[in-house]
Amino acid sequence: SWYASNIGVLLLNKFLLSNYGFKYPIFLTLCHMMACSLLSYIAIEWLKIAPMQRVKSRLQMMKISALGFIFCLSVVGGNISLRYLPVSFNQAVGATTPFFTAVFAVVMTSKREGWITYVTLMPVIAGVIIASGGEPLFHLFGFMMCIGATAARALKSVLQGLLLSSEGEKLNSMNLLMYMAPVAVMVLFPAALYMEKGVVGITIALARDDWKFLIYLLFNSALAYFVNLANFLVTKHTSPLTLQVLGNAKGAVAVVISILIFKNPVSITGMLGYSLTVAGVILYTEAKKRS
C-alpha cells in the first residue's frame, strides 16, 4: 500500500500536469490538501485510526500553521517541477533530502552528526550533479523548483522537531496533517485564484467535456491523503528506520516505472548519477543508524 500510494500519486501528478495538459500545479495541490483535510478528520474522528489530539494553545496553533505553510511550499514546488522534469530526474533531486536536513539541523539546532555521516552525503550531492549533466530533458526552472521543494521538505522535518518538541505539544503525523491541511487550503486557494487565472472555470469545463478527468483528479487527491496514511501506518507498525529504507528503494522503483510508462529518454550518465545518489542515501541511513 505504501509503495502503491507513493508511486501512484507521483505518476498521476506527472500525467495530469505534463501529459494530460492540466497546467495548474497550485490548484492540483489545493485539491490534495482539501482531500487531506476531509479524509484525515474522518480517519481520526470516525474511524479511530489514530487517537484525537487537541491543540492546547494559540501558540501551538501558530507553530502548526508555520509548518503547514512550509509543507504547502514543498508540495507546490514538487508539483511545479513535474511540469518541466521527468519523474526519474525529479526523484534523483528529491533523494538529496538528507543533505538539506543535515544542513538545517546544524544551522537551526547546532546538532552535529559524526564525520562519517557527513562523508556519506558527498555521493548524494555528486550523484545529482552527474545526473543533471546527463539529463536529456533538463529544465533550469523545473530543477530550481525541485531543489526548493526538497529543501522545504527538509526544513519542515527539522522545524517539526524544534517547534513541537515538548511532551505537551507533540502530535502524531495524522493529527498534524489534520491541522496543517486546512492551513494549506487557506494559503493555496487565493494563490490559485490569483496566479492561475480562471482555473476553477477551466477545471469545471474539463470535467464536463471529459468525465475521466474528474475521476483522475478525485482519485489523485484521495491518493495524496493515502500517502500520508500509509506513512503513518508503516511507522506505527514497524519503525521510522523501516520507512527510511523503504524510501531509499522507492525512488529507484519509481524511476523504472516512470521510464516504462512515459518513455522519457534516459542517458547512461543520468542513470549513473542517480545510482550514486541512491547509494549515498543508503550509506547515510546506515551511518545514522550506527551513530
- CA-closest candidate to residue 247, choices 1, 2, 79: 2
Tell me which of 8-17, 200-209, 248-257, 265-274 is least confident. 248-257
Rounded Cα distance between 286 and 117, Å, is 9
Question: In this predicted structure, what is the pLDDT of residue 19?
Answer: 85
Residue 83 pLDDT > 80: yes
The strand ranges marked E within the chain are none
Question: In this predicted structure, what is the pLDDT of residue 287?
Answer: 86
Position with higher pLDDT, 246 vs 16? 16
Question: In this predicted structure, what is the pLDDT of residue 205?
Answer: 94
Confidence band, pLDDT 50/70/90 cuts, at residue 241: low
Rounded Cα distance between 240 and 246, Å, is 10
For the residues 99-128, what does the mean pLDDT come to? 89
Full DSSP string of 242-254: HHHHHHHHHHHHH
Q: Determine which helix (DSSP H) or strand (DSSP E) holds 137, and give its type and residue range.
A: none
Q: What angle do CA 67, 16, 10 make, to 5 degrees?
A: 50
Distance between the two ends of the chain, CA-based, in angstroms?
A: 31
Rounded Cα distance between 65 and 96, Å, is 26
Tell me which of 88-92, 140-144, 176-180 is least confident. 88-92
Question: In this predicted structure, what is the pLDDT of residue 65?
Answer: 95
Residue 36 pLDDT > 80: yes
Question: In this predicted structure, what is the pLDDT of residue 263?
Answer: 86
- Residue 233: CB partners within 8 Å, gap ≥ 6? 1, 2, 49
Position with higher pLDDT, 40 vs 162? 40
Rounded Cα distance between 154 and 84, Å, is 22
- The cell numbers describing 263, all together, are 518513455
Confidence band, pLDDT 50/70/90 cuts, at residue 281: confident
Question: In this predicted structure, what is the pLDDT of residue 253?
Answer: 86
- The cell numbers describing 111, all together, are 546538532
Confidence (pTM): 0.90
Question: In this predicted structure, what is the pLDDT of residue 164?
Answer: 86
Confidence band, pLDDT 50/70/90 cuts, at residue 162: confident
- CA-closest candidate to residue 182, choices 56, 46, 55: 55
For the residues 39-54, what does the mean pLDDT come to? 94
Rounded Cα distance between 159 and 205, Å, is 40
Residue 290 pLDDT > 90: no
User: Rg (Cα) of the chain, in Å, rounded?
Assistant: 19
Confidence band, pLDDT 50/70/90 cuts, at residue 220: very high
